[in-house]
Amino acid sequence: MSRVLKNKLQILRENLMSCFKETLPSKQFNATLSLSIIWLHVLVDREAKTEDQEERRCITNEFDEGKRSIERGIETLYEQSNRERNEDPNLSSK
């Protein structure tokens, strides 16, 4: 299972880095999302090391919740960036 989580995490990390390049998140939001990605790395490592199926299930559920939260954060950044471009015609030409 940890290989599946690692793949999901890699895709999520790539999406987040693309989002950071395309948008201008606040320092606090940037830090929050970055720390969230780090926490998902910790969960993947914990999941790989545990033998207990119940603990594995709990870790996987926590991972999925964190992943969904980060994905919502990415969506919010894109929406905010698009709104700002629509409000300021000078930004859309950049």
What one-character DSSP code corresponds to residue 93? T
pLDDT at 22: 92
The answer as to whether 38 is a domain residue is yes
Helix spans in 1-94 (H):
2-22, 27-49, 53-87, 89-92
Q: What is the mean pLDDT of the chain?
A: 91
pLDDT at 61: 97
For the chain, how many structural domains are there in total?
1
Nearest in space to 17 (alpha carbons), one of 30, 4, 6: 30
The answer as to whether 45 is a domain residue is yes
Checking if the pLDDT of 53 tops 80, the result is yes
The answer as to whether 50 is a domain residue is yes
The answer as to whether 68 is a domain residue is yes
The answer as to whether 25 is a domain residue is yes
The answer as to whether 92 is a domain residue is no
The domain of 46 spans 2-75
Distance CA 75, CA 18 (A): 12
Residues 8-30 have pLDDT tens digits of 999 999 999 999 999 988 999 99
Q: How far apart are the first and last CA of the chain?
A: 43
The answer as to whether 11 is a domain residue is yes
